[in-house]
Amino acid sequence: MVEPGWLLSPPGRPYLASILHKNQRRVFGLLERPALPPALSVPTLTYKLFVSGRSAVGKTALVAALAGTPVPPTHRETLGIEVSTLFWPATPLGSERPVLFQLQFWDCGESALRKFEHLLPACQEEVDAILLVFSFTDRASFEELPARLARVLQPGQDPLRVVVGTRFDLCPRTAVTEADVAALEDTWGLRVLRVGGGCGVGRAGVVWAAPLLDALVGQLWQRDQMAAGVSPEGRGPPQD
């Protein structure tokens, strides 16, 4: 529901520059946002995303790669809740005006979730989307997705569900087949997003992250348009 690759096109260059610093992804504080000239000012939409998955499937590495921060060289268990904020400019299909999407990824270690009862409700509170992460090299992480969704989904809530498969580039040794993925997509009525390694830094990292982030913000945009009772096609972004 957004123009794919728009941020890397000539019209998107000033917006790309706003999230980079010396060709590296800019890290924004809690009260900071990309600086744009008044003529390029755009509305900002903020979303909370809860990242859930079996230990060691690459949740923390995925968030780091999307945010443009250093990816941990080895696996380490997330000790509590880690919140990473990134900004992603995109243009909804049929609109001439971009939108600045502010994504807040809430990542919590599995051991911490089991040990501290207050962490799961904190992640569930006012969540806009749940990212269910599995690894293509770990079949158990794929097979547990239905039970995991039932565990992290709070009664009465209806957040966007997004399934992301990591280590897709290790397909020759994959434990999850394309037939498995197709069956899940048919059952759940959604598209499984795939990511591999080699994300790179700076602009190369943006190129790597663009397909996944465009798909993610596009689904969030579509959800909001449908919730507002309007057709997502041909609609412009909200007013400031």
pLDDT tens digits along 4-44: 999 999 999 999 999 998 888 888 887 889 999 999 999 99
Which tops the pLDDT comparison, 77 or 128?
Answer: 128
What is the share, in percent, of the chain residues with pLDDT greater than 90?
59
Q: Is position 130 within any domain?
A: yes
**Mean pLDDT over each residue of the chain, to the nearest integer:** 88
Q: Which residues of 43-81 are buried (b: 16+ CB within 10 A; e: fewer)?
A: eebebbbbbbbbeebbbbbbbbbbbbbebeeeeeebeeb
Task: Kindly give the pairing relationship between strand 160-166 and strand 193-194.
Answer: parallel
Task: Kindly give the pairing relationship between strand 81-90 and strand 20-21.
Answer: unpaired
Q: Give residue 3's identity as a one-letter amino acid code.
A: E
Residue span of the structural domain in which 11 resides: 6-28+41-227
Q: Is position 221 within any domain?
A: yes
The pair phi, psi for residue 109, each rounded to 5°, is -65, 145
Which tops the pLDDT comparison, 115 or 11?
Answer: 11
Helix axes 59-67, 202-227, angle to 10 degrees: 100
Q: Give residue 21's identity as a one-letter amino acid code.
A: H
Q: Is position 98 within any domain?
A: yes
Number of domains in the chain: 1
Q: What is the pLDDT of residue 75?
A: 67
**Which range is least confidently modeled, 25-39, 88-102, 138-152, 213-227?**
25-39
Q: What is the pLDDT of residue 182?
A: 95
Question: Residue 234 pLDDT more than 50?
Answer: no
Q: Is position 92 within any domain?
A: yes
Q: Is position 140 within any domain?
A: yes
Question: Residue 94 pLDDT more than 50?
Answer: yes
CATH of the domain at 132: 3.40.50.300
Report how far residue 24's alpha carbon sits from residue 19's, in angstroms, rounded to the nearest whole number.
Answer: 8
Q: Give residue 143's identity as a one-letter amino acid code.
A: E
Q: Is position 205 within any domain?
A: yes
Q: Is position 83 within any domain?
A: yes
Q: Is position 156 within any domain?
A: yes
Question: Residue 175 pLDDT more than 60?
Answer: yes
Question: Residue 232 pLDDT more than 60?
Answer: no
